[in-house]
Structure 1
Amino acid sequence: MPSDAKAISELKKRIPQADGRIFDFFAAWLAARGDALVARRKTFSPLSVPSLLRYMWIYRFEEEAGDYVCNLAGESVNDAWGKGIKGRTLRNIIGEEDYPVVRERWDSITGVPLVQYGAVEERLSSLDAWHAERLLLPMSSEDGKTDVVLGISLYNLDYLTDDKSVNVSEVVMQFPCSDFL
């Protein structure tokens, strides 16, 4: 079995409940990665999975900002947040309350590096609560430093509710990239 097929099979075992598009996205990252531990930003083209462009986003850690800055956000991602997020920092997008936990996770994604899968019932911008499923993947910049987080956010409006007191449940799983070599 080729290593990419083996890696996809391994991820499917770990997150069998995931939407099939999660695995398509993972396959594109694996193809860009080649024999490296993580894909290089210059080798990954969002156009390699055109059906997922609207759900895709890319952030890079910017030393000057001291935070991850959004470099690309698809149409569905911008719609979910209620406005365009390109050029904004992670802290500014998600808010002070959630920032410490998310920042710690993202620093682990780029630092270890890790693959992260998550599913949550959430409320974004002023929208009602809905289901979101995500896969976050590390990438390295031109200088070889792993400081980019590539992600896909799949929103399911079938879960939409107008219950303002929704009880948010969340599943977050992280796996070392070395598990998928």
Structure 2
Amino acid sequence: MAEVDGPNGPPGCWPEFADARFGLFLRYWAERRTGLAMPRRAIDPTILKPCLPHVYLMRYDAAADLFVCTLSGEKINEAWGTSLMHKTPQQFMAAPAAARAQRIYRRIVTEPAVHVGHRHRGAAGETAAKAADRLVVPLCDDAGRPWGLFGLSLYHFNPVTEAEVAPHIGPEVTYYPCKDLPRDPPPASLPPRG
């Protein structure tokens, strides 16, 4: 299994999150889906205000097989140490991480699937990496064709001791194929599965 091939979540279920911002982001996306993705034009920053410092948009150029950042919140830029605007992952990530991100992003957009990245700080003995919890959803254009992706990443790191460390792009992920998601949006607060 390739490292981006994380397990699929249970069919007919929404992912669960402890942080309310993920719930808001996912419900917003789910309520505005047309088919398997949400149109890019449906993004309303006023509703997603608590999420805005932590979001990013990546436009997919299928002909070039490239993702280009068209929006990056201040906490995303802080974690990466630079503005990601108008950059491809190859321009702000090390080559192995950029290749991994490319495969992840491509799967999100082309399958399409909701991607849940789980916090990871590296195995014992590894250099510390900025840990993040992620939720990334596919976007479409008005005709329903893949447009790109919309992500929410909550980074966990010490800005003094880990400021120069690149965020970790790890294999600890779960995918929720959009074709398997419930038709109804997730409830405002998801009860834990028993």
For Structure 1 versus Structure 2, the TM-score category normalised by the shorter chain is 0.7 to 0.9
| In structure 2, C-alpha distance between the alignment counterparts of 1:42 and 1:97, rounded to whole Å | 32
Between Structure 1 and Structure 2, the one with more helix by share is 1
User: 8 Å contact 1:120–1:168 — kept in the other structure?
Assistant: no
The corresponding residue for 1:54 is: 53
Q: Per-residue deviation at 1:64? A: 6.8
The corresponding residue for 1:177 is: 178
Q: Per-residue deviation at 1:93? A: 2.0
| In structure 1, C-alpha distance between the alignment counterparts of 2:160 and 2:13, rounded to whole Å | 31
Q: Per-residue deviation at 1:44? A: 2.0
CA displacement 1:120-156 (0-9 Å, x = unmatched): 3359xxxx63321000000102443113110000112
The corresponding residue for 2:14 is: 11
Q: Per-residue deviation at 1:23? A: 1.4
Given the superposition, is the C-alpha separation of residues 130 and 96 from structure 1 closer, same or farther in structure 2, using an over 3 Å criterion?
A: closer
Between Structure 1 and Structure 2, the one with more strand by share is 1
Q: Structure 1 unaligned segments of length 5 or more: list them.
A: 1-8
| In structure 2, C-alpha distance between the alignment counterparts of 1:65 and 1:109, rounded to whole Å | 17
- Secondary structure at the counterpart of residue 13 of structure 2: helix
Given the superposition, is the C-alpha separation of residues 168 and 113 from structure 1 closer, same or farther in structure 2, using an over 3 Å criterion?
A: closer
| In structure 2, C-alpha distance between the alignment counterparts of 1:133 and 1:159, rounded to whole Å | 17
Q: Per-residue deviation at 1:57? A: 0.5
User: 8 Å contact 1:122–1:168 — kept in the other structure?
Assistant: no
Instruction: Give the total of aligned pairs.
Output: 162
Q: Structure 2 unaligned segments of length 5 or more: list them.
A: 1-11, 123-127, 184-194
Root mean square deviation of aligned Cα: 2.9
User: 8 Å contact 1:130–1:160 — kept in the other structure?
Assistant: no
Percent of paired sites with the same residue? 25
